[in-house]
Chain A
Amino acid sequence: MGEFAYVAPRNVADAVGVLQDHANNGRRAQVLAGGTDLLVQLRGLDKAPRTIVDVKKIEETNRLDIGGDEIYIGAAIPSAILNENQELKSLLPGLIEAADLIGSTQIQGRASLGGNLCNSSPAADTIPAMIADRGICVIAGSGGEREVPVEDFCTGVGTNVMTGDEFLLGLKFPRPPANSGDAYLRFIPRTEMDIAVAGAGVSVTLDGGGTCTAARVGIGAVAPTPLLVADAAAALVGTAVDDDALAAAGAACSTAASPINDKRGTVEYRRKVVAVLCRRAGAIARDRALAA
């Protein structure tokens, strides 16, 4: 394991101060939430010294607010806490399903939505679900707070919009209106303990007659970053989210995807499967909206 220093600031200003100090002096600081990615990296080949900035002791990264208009989820809240929150589960079941896919039960005691997002893997399970649910990143930095839609957060494999003096405080989601539903599905060759070969998150809102008035589709593991697929959503709006509409949405996902051939799957395979996942997740989201 490489050499590292550890600090655990108690408030946002202190955390930003530590980050800014490192950034200004060309020293490496890395933010720790649950550490389920970072601790693995610490044991890897990169032994260069660093400072670990633990943000778990800060109130804003641990707050969970379920308001009348907005839901706020602190960036460091472990997914085990989210998974057990029945209100959240009934409001955003697709997001919680995605959070429940990060690692094993033991890992979920630490793994967080914020960490999953900041690790910025194209295959991260929660990001397409957060995109589908219109997630907004709340970022703290030396210039104060700023907000960035989740679909604009990742900039490449393992990179994102945050500068060296910034860290993620939490995620905001609009409280879904009546007759809404969401779902996330991923494909892995195993049943657990694996990384998505493709993933799709879908949210829909229906009117009283069952016609879709709003939809969002996010896909993962099929491009350098998770993607918002506007064409897929457009294929659902104005329909009853029936098989034809879902097929069109799936096809839009295949088109939007720009996957690679690697040890986990081929280009052809990923394009096909992301469409299947979009269709299936869309059907689940529709059924949830109808039952809501």
Chain B
Amino acid sequence: MAEAVDYRYVGTSPVRPDGVDKVTGRAQFGADQNLPNMLHGRVLRSPHAHARIKRVDLSKALAMDGVRAAVSGADFPAVESGEIGGEGGGDVADIARNVMARDKALYHGHAVAAVAATSVEIAERALEAIEVEYEALPPVLDVLEAMAPDATLLDEQCFTKNLPEKPDKPSNVASVMTLARGDLDAGFEQADVVVEGEYRIPMAHQGYIEPHACTATVNEEGKATVWCCTQGHFEFRAMTSKILKWKISDLKFVASEIGGGFGGKTVVYLEPVAVLLSKHAGRPVKMVMSREEVFRATGPTSGSVCRVKVGAQSNGKITAAKAWLAYEAGAFAGAPVMPGAMSIFAPYEIENFLVEGHDVLVNKPKVAAYRAPGAPQAMHAFEVALDDIARQIGMDPLDLRLANAADEGTQAPYGPKFPAIGFKACIEAAKKHPNYTKPVPEGAGRGVAAGFWFNIGMQSSAEVRINEDGTVIVMEGSPDIGGSRASMGLMAAETLGVPYEQIKTYVGDTESTGFCNVTGGSRTTFATGLAVVQACEDIIAQCKSRAAATWGMDDDQVEWQDGQAIPAPGVNADVKPLSLADVAASAPKTGGPILGRASLNAQGAGASFAVNFGDLKVDPETGAVEVLSFTGIQDAGKAIHPAYVEGQMQGGAAQGLGWALNEEYIYDANGVMENAGFLDYRVPVASDLPMIDTQIVEVPNPSHPYGVRGVGETPIVAPLAVASNAVRDATGVRINDLPLSPPRILAALSGE
């Protein structure tokens, strides 16, 4: 482990720069952009989960007073297949057909047409005037039924990818993938105990509070400006460009403040529609989804069926592990089954394993990224199976994980060897934690599970501008979801050696700052932070050079220390140090404004491991679960802003526990979601959860100057299995499926 370093600003928790405006209501979110003569756009959505669209007639809607534009699939260009990278990526032809259905509606709520009118009410009435002729088809709603050879097909052109030979028949299985190492049979032969199970989890939504919203305006030159809530305005620009076949330079995207995304705002839904409506109408168009639309037509993550078999020796050593994963992609290919497969065994050193994954089309909304996409479902299955192994061999669940824990040099199941990682440090911290050493409260059960996420680097740009008085503007392009502007400011303060309060960090639009990939993959503090640090280093080099010129020295005779230029050790000069403010003040005489910049494709995002445990109590007569305590322990590499790292850990735990206990998409037989609102899609309310205890472990990431690892996604992974394992511990009954809703628990306790 690297030496602990003392920092002046990094590792402190100042108030976030956007905090006051958010608390006072001044902050501008997606729906807050209003323009003169603005129209309101609404979307007509399919009443069928699966139907051929025979005809769409917009004429009656267009003839209505106040209706200024109407579009359907026919108004959009045909888009060729092609991948858009990143966490919110996928095939752009699919994204285009998800934004507006063409020949087929593939889920209840799929966009079929849209109108823009002078009021929301007129727009809604106009939707009723649109005539659509459907040929209803049987919906395919269950992932296993969708995989059956005789299943109704969503896409007759879908031939399973990655099979050894190209199949001769289409299938709902869009692709398969395999990861394997060692000799599985030999591994199971060495096992003293073997646990096998099937674990099912229904679709769940990211549940961000702010619905999708945007305002688009297209001028007479055909140039558009779009304000929207997004995790990545550059990707939104790229997707809109491809879907509409417009030049990127004709599209300017401005990211608003964002009321949560969790991966779900990495992909466009409204923006290309609003641009097209605005182009047709010649006026700005605002579109805001209702909560119901958010549930029916945006983001959920995959429902899944995971089958796991794991063998271990009586000393806890895992000898073999096998997993079979089937993930619902929704209407278009792209379930996060690959990251699920890559993560399921990632915390452990396992010699013999096999994972088979399936990306399966069903008549439900196209899934979008959700915090560590794919990992919670698969890792829930394995962490539950490990809990059963620990019970069978009578071993503490933390000791079982320690006995198999991956460490520096372990070859990850997905290929590379891990550099320094913090999994063992997290387990050791858990073993010593007072919440773990204390006895389990009467009537409760304790669950333990591990969490993991890869994290990513990708592309970022940053610019640092020194104002005339020495204050600093940091300009970057990563929408701030979790307080990243504060983290950027802290890293800039530390690097430049100037107070945090002297720095203003700003998220620029697509034309005022360099390209940045989405805020996703827990990459922003790592990768955009790296760009900010490098841009600050660029500033320092320029300041040193200007000081050298001022003092008549060579550049290498000047050093930068504590925010000022000083002569290097051994350089004999009677000069007064030059602060950043001094250098800024003299900038007109030393070469003009001081501007630093960096752009990069960051490599070496360090994986973040976690150990979570919690004490849960079950009411045996109602099946109600009470979370008495929950503790998250996670390797942050280096917590730049510890309070926001803790916030990520607590927020992830709250989402994971909600997913584990009550959240689920409930469908009727026709494929209509029955609980498309927060009343019956039950995310936890504040009174449902105790204060989530956190402990940050810091094993620095060698690929970042301050040791940062992404922290945003790992926290959601372990809580699912923590809840399952705690309920098992409390009741003596193992329930494989989620959510652990009261009716499910009571039925299980009754032996049903």
Contacts and interface: CB of A to CB of B under 8 A. Distances in A.
A214 B680 CA distance: 38
B622 A187 contact: yes
Interface string B665-685: 010000000110001101011
Contact of B747 (A191, A192, A193, A268): A268
Nearest to A191: B687
A37 to B, nearest CB: 13
A250 to B, nearest CB: 10
B742 interface: yes
B405 interface: no
Nearest to A2: B121
Contacts of A193: 679, 685
Contacts of A187: 622, 624, 742
B742 A269 contact: yes
Interface in B635-687: 661-662, 666, 674-675, 679-680, 682, 684-685, 687
B440 interface: no
A214 B216 CA distance: 68
Interface stretch (A88-96, A167-175, A258-266, A283-291): A258-266
Nearest to B683: A190
A190 B685 CA distance: 7
A156 interface: no
Given A190-B685, A191-B687, A265 B743 contact: yes
Nearest to A270: B743
A197 B746 CA distance: 14
Nearest to A195: B679
Interface in B700-752: 741-743, 746-747, 752
Given A264-B680, A268-B747, A273-B622, A189 B685 contact: no
Contacts of A47: 121
B688 interface: yes
B675 A263 contact: yes
Given A263-B666, A263-B674, A189 B746 contact: no
A276 B662 contact: no
B742 A194 contact: no
Interface residues of B, number: 23
Nearest to A3: B121
A63 interface: no
Nearest to A273: B622
B666 A269 contact: no
Given A265-B743, A272-B746, A190 B621 contact: no
Interface string B201-226: 00000000000000000000000000
Contact of B684 (A190, A262, A269, A272): A190
A194 B666 contact: no
A192 B685 contact: yes
Interface residues of A, number: 21
Given A266-B743, A269-B747, A273-B622, A190 B675 contact: no
A120 B366 CA distance: 38
Contact of A190 (B121, B622, B662, B674): B662
Given A189-B741, A264-B680, A269-B747, A276 B621 contact: yes
Interface in A155-213: 187, 189-195, 197
A254 to B, nearest CB: 13
A47, A190, A195 pick with most chain B CB within 10 angstroms: A190
Interface string B136-148: 0000000000000
Contact of B742 (A1, A189, A263): A189
A189 B679 contact: no
Contacts of A273: 621-622, 742, 746
Contacts of A189: 624, 661-662, 682, 741-742
A273 B742 CA distance: 10
Nearest to B681: A263
Interface string B613-627: 000000001111000
Given A263-B674, A263-B675, A190 B742 contact: no
B338 to A, nearest CB: 32
Nearest to A45: B124
Contacts of A194: 679, 682
A197 B623 CA distance: 13
Contacts of B746: 269, 272-273
Contacts of A197: 742
Contacts of A264: 680
A276 B684 CA distance: 24
Interface string B168-207: 0000000000000000000000000000000000000000
Given A189-B624, A190-B685, A263 B680 contact: yes
Interface string B490-529: 0000000000000000000000000000000000000000
A189 B121 CA distance: 36
A192 B621 contact: no
A123 to B, nearest CB: 11
A272 B622 CA distance: 8
Contact of A191 (B680, B688, B743, B752): B688
A193 B685 CA distance: 8
Interface string A238-282: 000000000000000000000000111110110011001000000
Contacts of A269: 623, 742-743, 746-747
Contacts of B621: 272-273, 276
B747 A190 contact: no
A106 to B, nearest CB: 14
Contacts of B688: 190-192
A262 B666 CA distance: 10
A276 B679 contact: no
B592 to A, nearest CB: 56
A217 B450 CA distance: 48
A187 B619 CA distance: 11
Contacts of B752: 268
Interface in A104-126: none
B685 A191 contact: yes
A282 to B, nearest CB: 14
A58 B636 CA distance: 62
A101 to B, nearest CB: 13
Contacts of A190: 662, 682, 684-685, 687-688
B408 to A, nearest CB: 43
A188 to B, nearest CB: 9
Contacts of B661: 189
A262 B743 CA distance: 11
Given A268-B747, A272-B746, A192 B674 contact: no
A173 B710 CA distance: 61
A240 B666 CA distance: 44
A273 B674 CA distance: 23
A265 B662 CA distance: 12
A268 B748 CA distance: 12
A16 B742 CA distance: 46
A108 to B, nearest CB: 15
Contacts of B674: 262-263
B112 to A, nearest CB: 18
A216 to B, nearest CB: 23
A231 B321 CA distance: 57
A181 B644 CA distance: 49
A192 B687 contact: yes
Interface string B119-141: 00100000000000000000000
A192 B675 CA distance: 17
Nearest to A275: B621
Given A195-B679, A273-B742, A276-B622, 13 more contacts: A47-B121, A189-B661, A189-B662, A189-B682, A192-B687, A263-B666, A263-B675, A265-B742, A266-B747, A269-B746, A269-B747, A273-B622, A276-B621
**CB-CB nearest 8 A-B residue pairs:** A269-B743, A191-B687, A276-B621, A263-B674, A263-B666, A263-B675, A192-B687, A191-B688
7 contacts: A190-B688, A191-B687, A191-B688, A193-B679, A264-B680, A269-B742, A269-B747
Interface of B: 121, 621-624, 661-662, 666, 674-675, 679-680, 682, 684-685, 687-688, 741-743, 746-747, 752
